[in-house]
Amino acid sequence: MIERFTQIQRTGGPEVIEWADVQLTEPAPGEVRMRNLAVGLNFIDTYHRSGLYPMAKPCGLGMEAAGIIEAVGDGVSDWQVGDRVATFGPTIGAYCTARNIAAKSLFGVPDDISHEVAAAGLLKGCTTEFLVERCAKVQPQWDVLVHAAAGGVGLLLVQWLKHVGARVIGTVSTDEKAALARAAGADHVILYGKEDVARQVRELTGGKGVEVSFDGVGLETWETSLTATARRGLIVSYGNASGPVSGVNLATLAQKGSLYVSRPTLFDYYHNPAERAAGAEYVFDMFRQGVIEMTIGQRYALEDAAQAHRDLEARKTIGSSVLIPSGIK
């Protein structure tokens, strides 16, 4: 069976994304063939493409997808043909129509969760869950700063944080995104580039600062996070949208109030099967209850992945984006 796959031969901008036709073999032992019905777009995909996160070349792109199982390899007992499933890695190569993938990397998708929500929301939802519940362990009444509060993870963070009882201050780049962050529950929204974010945060918290800063932007917001975080507070640096934070001076953490900093990754918190299963079920239940809602702001044809990357890096997207394979409605 001929399937379409992304392939990059070198690192660089979106122009390095190429497409190839691949003849799929039968799944190997321990694998299944997964037909993608929706593919998630995440900022980490741009890191793999640009070389910020190095990978051997040639390689595919994409970590997150949802679809159905079409064939099962020897030794696979937990899955059957027709099962609804999703994955967010660690194997890269989700930008495709179908592929053979290790069965152990799959999650079951409940019937009441759409493939688009699973593809756009599982990685971001699980990221939100571990950031709030297991990394920062946010408590009711805490003041919390969320950078890029109208992004895919940002909107989920705002909703989840309000659910646990935090007071949320969000930063965004436009008035349109400010409206989205407020609709998600943000108590205050600051327009970075137009306002002094750290000063505003201090004023909103009576000079104290926030207990936690969730910073997925990176280089551009690092100094702001340092100045906006309260004494003995925590900066959770979980992304590099504007470039990586490097050359961190530990003495600065002392000068800013004996701050803590974490640079966590999802797979360290979703390391074993029990953690993976419990986290995913928690996230799906939060979607099911309406505690968090997935805002899918953009849908692209799968082969328009390069344009999707351009829009994402230019901060033109709102909420989450999905790539849809040809013939899927």
Distances (CA, A) of 5 to 98, 188, 191, 208, 270: 8, 43, 39, 51, 27
What's the pLDDT score for residue 329?
A: 57
Count CA atoms closer than 13 A to 275's CA, side-chain side: 13
Kindly report the number of other CB atoms within 10 A of residue 151's CB atom. 30
Residue 6 confidence (pLDDT): 94
185 near 157, Cβ under 8 Å?
Answer: no
Global pTM reads 0.85
How many Cα atoms occupy the beta-carbon half-sphere of 231 within 13 Å? Answer: 3
Question: How many CB atoms within 10 Å of residue 150?
Answer: 30
pLDDT of 295 reads: 83
Residue 58, preceding peptide bond in cis (omega within 30° of 0): yes
Please count the CA atoms within 13 angstroms of the CA of 55 that sit on its side-chain side: 25
Provide the 10 A C-beta neighbour count for residue 16: 18
Tell me what pLDDT residue 193 has: 84
pLDDT in tens, the chain (329 residues): 789 999 999 999 999 999 999 999 999 999 999 999 999 999 889 999 999 989 999 999 999 999 999 999 999 999 999 999 999 988 999 999 999 999 999 999 999 999 999 999 999 999 999 999 999 999 999 999 999 999 889 999 999 999 999 999 999 999 999 999 999 999 999 999 889 999 999 999 999 999 999 999 988 999 999 999 999 999 999 988 788 888 889 999 999 999 999 999 998 999 888 898 899 999 999 999 999 988 899 999 999 999 999 999 998 888 889 999 987 65
Task: Check residue 278 and give left, alpha or beta (phi > 0: left; psi -120 to 50: alpha).
Answer: alpha
Q: What is the pLDDT of residue 302?
A: 96
Domains and their CATH numbers in the chain: 2-121+267-324 (3.90.180.10), 140-263 (3.40.50.720)
59 and 92 Cβ atoms separated by less than 8 Å: yes
Cβ neighbours for 247, distance < 8 A, ≥ 6 positions apart: none
Query: Contact at 8 Å (CB) between 161 and 147?
Result: no
pLDDT of residue 257: 97
